[in-house]
Amino acid sequence: MTTMINPKSAASARLGSAERLFRQPVSPSLVHRVDETDVFVTDLRVTGYDMFEVSGRLPGSHSFYGPRRHGLHDPLAVLETIREAILVVGHVAYDIPREFKFITHDKQFEFDLDALVATDDQPVDLTIALTSLDIRRRGRRVASMRTHVECFRDGKLVGTASYRWSCVSAAAYKKLRGEYATAEPAAPADLVPVAPELVGRTDEVDVTLAERSDGPGYEMRVDPKHPVIYDHVMDHVPGNAIAEVARQVAMLTTGDPDALTVGGDFLFSHYIEFDTPCLVNAEVIGSTTGGTTGVRFVIEQNDRHAVDGILELVLS
């Protein structure tokens, strides 16, 4: 197939002249990580006009996205791989400087669990096809877009996703965040995590919720010692923590710690800060003919919704 390079991106033109840009390992800083064991993407190439292909690899075992349940790789590991793929495309194909901040506004995703079957402790190679849509620019620089994603394993569709995101310079981000620009995570001393076995975990460090003593629902729990979620200094609760919060509250709401996440729809309205309580509530909203159960969740802070969403689960 003849490659069509986006004429608006000089970096894309350079990519089109080479068979591959990356071969493993990708620098952790390129995907906003510190530990190379948390980097799940490998190489990148252009496949068409604003169309790209990133190779990814789900680890056979991982401290956070594992151990596997029901002989399957963790669907949220696929979500993390997609996040990293979007960053690679943004930084390399669209020349977004590494010091720029990415802001996710909404995301939707769904997975086919049959395509996530694990074999012993072997890693799984993925092919991730990304298409950039609704691109908006600030001057010559990309300011925002929606990225449509399809993930394949051995030619079989693993899942799809759609992310709407924007990016801002370090100076603009500092102005946007104001006094919170230099915030750092701190664990509230009085928050006791729910029992790990209730949320499909074995270690308290991976538990993101605590029981409330003054009302229904749960309170978000931040542990700055977590080696994956808080692997570097950050000024707000990150997206991978929010995904895990949603999964854990869905497990608690359905009473099923073995529930499997097969889809989701998240709307991000406000940053989640470290200095005030963040409340998490959820309710079951019904089942589908396909056998999934929907759970609607709300993450609320300072009397306003920070994140609203729905998770689709397959119950055990």
For 263-283, write each residue's pLDDT tens digit.
Answer: 999 999 999 999 999 999 999
Buried b (16+ CB within 10 A) or exposed e, 70-107: eeebbbbbbbbbbbbbbbbbbbbbbebeeebbbbbebb
Tokens of 165: 């995101």
Residues of the chain with CATH 3.10.129.10: 10-175, 183-314
Q: Looking at residues 54-76, what average pLDDT do you find?
A: 89
Count CB neighbours of 142 within 10 A.
21
Q: Is the pLDDT of residue 14 over 80?
A: no
Distances (CA, A) of 293 to 149, 160, 214, 289: 24, 19, 28, 10
Predicted confidence at residue 116, as pLDDT, reads: 95
CB under 8 Å to 46, separation ≥6 — which residues? Answer: 3, 5, 12, 15, 16, 52, 53, 93
Predicted confidence at residue 248, as pLDDT, reads: 98
Determine the residue type at 265.
D
pLDDT, one tens digit per residue, over 153-193 is 999 999 999 999 999 999 999 999 999 999 999 877 788 99
The CATH code of domain 10-175 reads: 3.10.129.10
Residue 275: DSSP 8-state: S
What is the assigned CATH class of domain 183-314?
alpha beta
Q: Are 194 and 211 in contact (CB under 8 A)?
A: yes
Count CB neighbours of 156 within 10 A.
10
Q: Looking at residues 204-233, what average pLDDT do you find?
A: 92
Spatial distance between the Cα atoms of 304 and 171, rounded to a whole number of angstroms: 27
Q: Supply the pTM of this predicted model.
A: 0.91
Predicted confidence at residue 189, as pLDDT, reads: 73
Give me the residues paired with residue 259 across strands.
none
Spatial distance between the Cα atoms of 298 and 308, rounded to a whole number of angstroms: 5
Q: Are 54 and 41 in contact (CB under 8 A)?
A: yes
Spatial distance between the Cα atoms of 137 and 115, rounded to a whole number of angstroms: 37
Residue 239: DSSP 8-state: H
Q: Is the pLDDT of residue 131 over 70?
A: yes
Tokens of 25: 């390992």
Q: Are 234 and 186 in contact (CB under 8 A)?
A: no
Omega into 67 within 30° of 0, i.e. cis?
A: yes
pLDDT, one tens digit per residue, over 200-215 is 999 999 999 999 988 8
| Mean of pLDDT over the chain | 90
Q: Are 181 and 173 in contact (CB under 8 A)?
A: yes
Give me the residues paired with residue 153 across strands.
156
Predicted confidence at residue 23, as pLDDT, reads: 52
Predicted confidence at residue 25, as pLDDT, reads: 63
163 or 21: which carries more pLDDT confidence? 163
Predicted confidence at residue 121, as pLDDT, reads: 83
Give me the residues paired with residue 307 across strands.
268, 299
DSSP string, 114-140: GGGB--TT--EEEEEEEEEEEEEEETT
Spatial distance between the Cα atoms of 204 and 222, rounded to a whole number of angstroms: 11
Q: At 208, give phi and psi (nearest 5°).
A: -105, 5
